[in-house]
Amino acid sequence: MTILDLKPQNVWRCFHALTQIPRPSGHTKQVAEFLVDFGKKNGAEAFIDNAGNVVMRVAATPGYENREIAILQAHMDMVPQKTKESNHNFETDPIETWIDGEWLRAKDTTLGADDGMGVAAAMAVVEDKTLEHGPLEVLITRDEETGMYGAFELAPDTLKGKYLLNLDSETEGEITIGCAGGLDVVCTMEYQEMDINPEGMVAYDIAIKGLLGGHSGLEINQGRANANKLMARVLFATVNTGLAHLCSWHGGNMRNAIPRDGEAVVVVPQGKEAEFKEMVAKCAETFCREFGDIEKEGIKLTATPCDMPAKAIPDEVQTNLINAVLAAQNGVMRNIPTIPEIVETSSNLAIINVAEGKAEIDLLARSSQDSMKLYLCNGLKACFSMAGMKVEFLGGYSGWLPNTKSPLVAAMSDVYEKMYGKRPEILVCHAGLECGIIGPKYPEMDMASFGPTLLSPHTPSERCYIPSVGKFYDFVAELLKNIPVKK
């Protein structure tokens, strides 16, 4: 069985088509043109707006012309993550999918079901002439994963609809009505590299790999190991004790993904190799003990001899960087006091690049309270400023405040109960959703978010629960049939 044999076939066929088009964040031109062509071929008005988003307008089916306009909204880009062993090029290669029991996965890469399943559902609606619905708008935004740029740049007169169905949530049977805001904390510095005297020195490549990683909002509360934090502990135990000297350091590659891998090149004085290796082994043992119940595949920490680098990081700079990364807040800061099961404020120490006289450390702070988000970011700024780094706050957005009296959510709950015999769960999530950015542009718009069940988005373990897709799509179709009449 392949993806094209799965049901509902129209949704899976559309999703398969998306997997064949490279669409990592920052490279969405090809998929945007594909979506516009798809819309036009299926009778929709379709165009790319000034922000690079795709907009489709679909006429009502006969008898439904008097309904309010509903909007189906998703994002076209995907997070490009792969295993260390993979040679996949996200800018040129299609995603290779495979079926694992009741789950659809990708071979050694992210699957792109976040938010390819939302896009596929919208495409299936546009294509399916048997559905009953009022006038529709489809908004497929660009570059959601790297900064929600399409939503930020969406013009306030683009959409005409009253009800927005965001198709970017990740548990079937849940309806999301609020989310956290976010802010990127970007720390940079330049330094003068120092020469290395290779006499009496041995170079080692310290590598951490095989971690679960995960979505830095939805899975930040699961206690997963952060490769950058682990590496800081290894370097603190070796570099800061004189067993090694740091030459370069790299870890993570996406601001909204918990880093899975990292590496650092160090030089070790001859005669201290055994003590250095013993310390690395001790760190490995400690990490496996601490995270063994969570990181089921095991934490792989190695120190392998490598070519001698020409330059190294100055003593004071290496000490300050290691100390700052070790000290910086990472993970859950606190939960919502009135909803203690939901994370309120967190940070993800996402990316580290230190080499060739330049250092950059990127963190993503999230909170459903703007004041707590600022408090967290100011704390991170203080930490890295003391290390001599320039700290900037970029790409900030507020959270999506829940409307507990939303007529749309009430109607969705009734429809779901009639279809499946139980009420959906209504919740607020710690991830960032585009509703928080689109909403202020359209203050009269009523919004809710839902989707099929996905696990481990933003990692090569991302997978989609196949039975949930049919329920999700049937729910979308029934909702569109039940959009209220215009008053």
Catalytic residues: 77, 144
Tokens read off for 30: 């090809």
- Report the distance separating Cα 333 and Cα 342, nearest Å: 12
- Report the distance separating Cα 257 and Cα 264, nearest Å: 20
- How many of the other CB atoms lie within 10 Å of CB of 151? 26
Tallying the residues shown for the chain, one arrives at 487
Tokens read off for 137: 């708008």
